Amino acid sequence: MPLTTPPLAPQTLKTLQQLGIATLQDLQAHGAVAAFLLLKAAGLTITRSTLWQLAALTQNRTPQALAEAEKAALLDALRRHPPVAVFPPQAEMEHFMHQALVQAELSTAAGEIPVGAVVVHQGKIIAAAHNTCIADHNISHHAEIRALAEAGRVLQNYRLDHCDVYITLEPCSMCASALIQARIRRVIYGAAEPKSGAAGSIINLFADNRLNRHTAVLGGVAARACQERLQQFFRHKRNRPSESL
């Protein structure tokens, strides 16, 4: 069933449609709180009454039927919700992810685990890096850490709140912490890391209420290409047992 005006205000309805939330089923899949935060992230000026409307719609009720306890629960969920952002179009994200994959290839050539990262500021890559832990004898030299350091030098600021970071592999806890501390706006990664991923696979540091939350995360962009790069690397390593990581 398509969303309509009324009950939604025309600009709210238009923005939801632009966000890909055009039907009641779409709204229910996202949830009222996430949809409300997406509207705000899209730049719409809205009040709590919009949250009540969205919640009521998901339940086939009127806003007036919501009890005060239900409204309080919605506000609490709003406070606890992980950061939300409007992400770039899929084609744009895949373009930048493929640039990160170019960096991952440099890791492969050097015998390092193939992970690459690029930092994007105002639509342009300002930093690109790959893993160099083995060559530098430094466990902190993951692609993300090196890319953040280079972006800081370019912008002359360790705070990178207007930047996006594209990573071929879900960040570990060390890198997730660095991304959060740098106040990166959006993190987009390719393949999930089931053994140490800190963006949802093992833990989601980006959603932890105890930390400063500035960074929205999206995984699965060009995931197959990113995963295949890793699988090829480790197949090659298994066939050459004398080499160690």
The binding site for Zn(2+) comprises 142, 172, 175
Q: In what order do the strands lie in the sheet with 124-130?
A: 124-130, 116-121, 163-169, 186-191, 216-218
Q: Which residues contact 115 (CB under 8 A, 6 or more apart)?
A: 104, 107, 130, 131, 142, 143, 167, 168, 169
Please report which residue ranges of 110-215 form alpha helices under DSSP H: 133-136, 143-155, 173-181
Q: Is 105 a catalytic residue?
A: no
181: number of CA atoms within 13 Å, CB side? Answer: 12
Taking a C-beta distance cutoff of 8 angstroms, is the pair 126, 151 a contact?
yes
225: number of CA atoms within 13 Å, CB side? Answer: 18
Q: Name the active-site residue from 112, 144, 170, 193.
A: 144
In angstroms, rounded to a whole number, what is the distance separating the alpha carbons of residues 28 and 24? 6
Taking a C-beta distance cutoff of 8 angstroms, is the pair 227, 190 a contact?
yes
Give me the active site residues, please.
Answer: 144
